[in-house]
Structure 1
Amino acid sequence: MHHDVVRPEWIDYNGHLSEPYYVLVFGDATTALMDRTGMDAGYRAATGRSLYTVEAHVRYLREIGPDAALEVRTRVLGRDAKRLRLWHELYVDGRLRATEELMCLHVGPDGAEPFPDDVAAALDALHVPGEPEHAGRSIAAVGRGEVRRPST
């Protein structure tokens, strides 16, 4: 779990948390997961390995106002030797405000590398069976490839 508070500079012209800061908070939650599973700053410095996000899907469900206390809950949806699929849920006052699904790749100096056994075991221990309702979704097509122009 990761906690933060909305800072004044994160507020947009509509008076709400600006779009890029949702991703910033989710990124900090990924770093917190890395720290918990043995991929902390010491690991990254000693091995040159880290997680790279290779795909992300964010859903903005409810607006978040100034000074809100943020809580991110993270689930491991699955992994293989080199890839990790994560699900973040962002809450304010116990109410879900946004989600992010990530595909991450464990990368070292020479490219993608398998997770070390201890890291793999720590990730497996955080795996929660089942899929969240909206996991695996993509953005729906609009207009089926046609450009819609205003009528004159």
Structure 2
Amino acid sequence: MTEPLPLLRQQVRPEWIDYNGHMSEAFYVLVFGYATDAMMIETGLHAAYRASTGCSLYTVEAHIRYLDDVPEGTHLAVRTRLLGTDTKKARFTHEMYAIDAPGADPAPDATPVATTELLALHVDQNAGRTTPFPTEIRTRLTALTEEPPPWAGRSIAEVPRSA
């Protein structure tokens, strides 16, 4: 069995705090973006790959859930799960946890403070269209595939129109 991807670690910076006294929604996206970058490095889609092939991942859909306030100084750990891949697509999630100290792991029963589910396409930037993953990249992505968490695949709830 393949080891899971390493956790991304960050600390909430003062400039990430909004007028409500907690991390602004844009910075949850920033931290999740850092986690995507880390996943790309671990799977072979790193800077050298991008420079030599002209190919990269493009996020085409994302669903974020903000589950708890995150104050300044909070230590974060982000867990990434690959949920599936095909010739040109990858689906994955990130789960953000508040942790007790730098380098700590989230408790096994910890509740995330935010989650995101993403769909990304492998794009040849020179051709301006999708292109198949090289075999070694697709093999790595497939080897990392896990069962989705229970919240993955949900859509945004409907809100009835007011009369």
Q: Which residue of 2 aligns with 1:78?
A: 84
Q: Which residue of 1 aligns with 2:139?
A: 121
Q: Which residue of 1 aligns with 2:117?
A: 101
SS in 2 for 1:135: coil
| 1:132 and 2:149 matched | yes
- Structure 1, unmatched stretches of 5+, are none
Tell me the CA shift for residue 80 of structure 1: 0.6
- Structure 2, unmatched stretches of 5+, are 1-6, 100-105
Tell me how far apart the structure 2 counterparts of residues 121 and 79 of structure 1 sit (CA, whole Å): 9
Kindly report which structure 2 residues correspond to 1:32-111, keeping only aligned pairs within 5 A, or say none: 32-93=38-99, 94=106, 95=110, 96-108=112-124, 109-110=126-127, 111=129
Larger radius of gyration between Structure 1 and Structure 2: 1
Tell me the CA shift for residue 131 of structure 1: 2.1
Once the two structures are superposed, residues 42-77 of structure 1 have per-residue CA deviations (whole angstroms, 9 ceiling, x without a partner) of: 111111111000000000111101011111000000
Q: Specify the code of the residue in structure 2 equivalent to 1:5.
A: Q
- Aligned pair count reads 145
SS in 2 for 1:84: strand
Tell me the CA shift for residue 126 of structure 1: 1.1
Tell me the CA shift for residue 125 of structure 1: 1.8
Q: Which residue of 1 aligns with 2:4?
A: none
Question: What TM-score results when the alignment is normalised by the length of structure 1?
Answer: 0.92
1:27 paired residue among 28, 33, 42: 33
Kindly report which structure 2 residues correspond to 1:138-149, keeping only aligned pairs within 5 A, or say none: 138-143=155-160, 146=161, 148=162
SS in 2 for 1:27: helix
Once the two structures are superposed, residues 3-58 of structure 1 have per-residue CA deviations (whole angstroms, 9 ceiling, x without a partner) of: 11111100001110000100110011001000001110111111111100000000
Poorly superposed stretches of 4+, deviation over 3 Å: none
